[in-house]
Amino acid sequence: MDAMPEGNHKISRRSFLKRSLLGTGALALSQLPFDQTVHAATGPVTLTYWHGWTGEWEKMVQSVVDMYHAKQSKVRINPVVVPWDQFIPKLTAAIAAGNPPDVVTLFSTAAIPTLAAQQAILSLDDIAGVDLPAAQEWFDPSIYSLGQYKQKTYGLSYWAGNYCLLFNKAHLKAAGLDPEKGPATITELDAFAEKMVQKRAAGGYDRMGFLPNTDENQFWLFGTVFGGRFYDPQSQKVTADDPNLVKALEWFQSYSKKFGPKEIASFQSGLSSERAQNLDPFIGGKLSMMVQGPWKLGDLKLFGDKLEYGVIAPPLADSGAKTANWIHGDIQIIPKGCKDPKAAADFVFFTGGVNDPEGYAQRVTWGNRPINIPVSKRILKEASFQKVVQDYPGFQTYIDALFNSSQVGSPPVMPAAAFYADRMQSTVQQVMLMQAQPKAALQSLTQQVQQQLQMMGEA
């Protein structure tokens, strides 16, 4: 679950963790002298579990731990909150020092290839007694693949985050648009957005209909919507300059050309965090339409009870295009040096709900609200899950937008993925500020990431 701000000058938790991987801390991990022998348990083993959830979400973690303890007595979990802005540096330092946590939730799937390539995390394939076929049967294939690198499985996700377009029905109605029907295509999205803009007499904007966000997750999404490919794993070639990705970034820049780069930057700098409750840009009426994940539905019910909104799948690139979406996950991994890998794997399987539809349905809707999309379609008919679907309009749309999409993108699986994500965000920002042109910027990005990949011995 992505829980950090959306503003133009605010760095998301996922983005920060990816940037942290660019430091030197992770690069020395392959030299560790650790013996990976599974320790024989003489009694209940206590595993240290690092995560970055805070506030009400820390309670969610404790609830999951309590459910695990109630199910068995051989393993005890000690959850520890590690601040998101210190997470990767602390993790790599702990592994290098020989004192790692036993289980970790990564808020960035891009980190897995990097850590796996540095032999900093354990493959579930190599842990005796782990029933990976059961996990493969349970997980949706696109979600299962989030934890894989080079045909090995390094982690399993709690759930999958995907994206839909939220729209304010009152704003559409006031603009003379059908409030029950959101934009079906990118062209319609642009037309809707322009009709809902509110300008200030002194210059600038009080409200924007829609804005492409410079968080790299949104460009991954719309790049996929436009039919682009970011990486070719067979040839190990970075394809950021794919013509369809150029079209997607040209579309991003069209908003700067239309509304002014300085004016957009000024507007975005005045927005509150996406986690600012009733001051959230969408809930507060500053944005008429916004791309967000299913976790947002809980905020809308808590803080936007008077807001009438609609939810639609990401608009198509054109009327004949295929449906598309983008996913990421909160991945449970086991660091090198874990005191009991088999016990840790048992907890990883539990959080992923393997063969536990009823229990997993309760965990993935903790607090009787949507959190993210379940990893398995097998829980969709569970009574507790269906109640949340019925109580939160739009949740079914998110589910369908993932499981019924013709193409589902996910972070490129290669060691330079974190570097790629960081440079992608910088590239999009430069283009939106009119400091670079889309085609040239993406060509430069392609060269930078390919060089980084070669430096890491992958291409």
* Res 278: pLDDT: 62
As given in the structure block, the two tokens for residue 110 are 């891009």
Return d(Cα 341, Cα 367) in angstroms, integer.
30
Contact status, residue 123 vs residue 345, Cβ threshold 8 Å: no
Summarised one tens digit per residue, pLDDT across range 163-207 is: 999 999 999 999 999 999 999 999 999 999 999 999 998 889 999
CB-based contacts of 390, cutoff 8 Å, min separation 6: none
Q: What share of the chain is helix, strand, coil (3-state, %, to 5)?
A: 45, 15, 40
Contacts 24+ apart (CB under 8 A), 79-85: 79/49, 79/51, 80/48, 80/49, 80/50, 80/51, 81/51, 81/52, 81/53, 81/54, 82/50, 82/51, 82/52, 83/52, 83/54, 84/4, 84/13, 84/16, 84/17, 84/52, 85/16
CA dist 230 to 152, 295, 402, 413, 450, Å? 22, 26, 19, 10, 12
What pLDDT, on the 0 to 100 scale, is given for residue 275? 57
The 10s digit of each residue's pLDDT in 134-170 is 999 999 999 999 999 999 999 999 999 999 999 999 9
Q: Which pLDDT tens digits describe the chain residue by residue (459 residues)?
A: 554 433 334 444 444 445 555 553 444 444 433 333 444 446 799 999 999 998 888 999 999 999 999 999 999 999 999 998 889 899 999 999 999 999 999 987 888 998 998 899 999 999 999 999 999 999 999 999 999 999 999 999 999 999 999 999 999 999 999 999 999 999 999 999 999 999 998 889 999 999 998 776 799 999 999 999 999 999 999 999 999 999 999 999 999 999 999 999 999 887 765 555 566 899 999 999 999 999 999 989 888 778 999 999 999 999 999 999 999 999 999 999 999 999 999 999 999 999 899 999 999 999 899 999 999 999 999 999 999 999 999 999 999 999 999 999 998 999 999 899 999 999 999 999 999 999 999 999 999 999 999 998 776
CB atoms within 10 A of CB 383: 8
Look-up: residue for tokens 């067979």? Answer: 234
* Burial classification of residue 285, based on how many CB atoms lie within 10 Å of its CB (0-12 exposed, 13-18 middle, 19 or more buried): middle
Specify the pLDDT at position 306.
83
Of 155, 132, 133, 137, give the one whose Cα is nearest residue 145.
155
Pairwise CA distance, residues 2 & 213, whole Å: 14
CB 390 within 8 A of CB 172: no
Cα separation, 174 vs 26, in Å, equals: 53
- 49 close to 79: Cβ distance less than 8 angstroms: yes
Domains in the chain, please, with CATH? 13-161+327-409 (3.40.190.10), 164-326+415-455 (3.40.190.10)
CA distance 157 to 174: 42
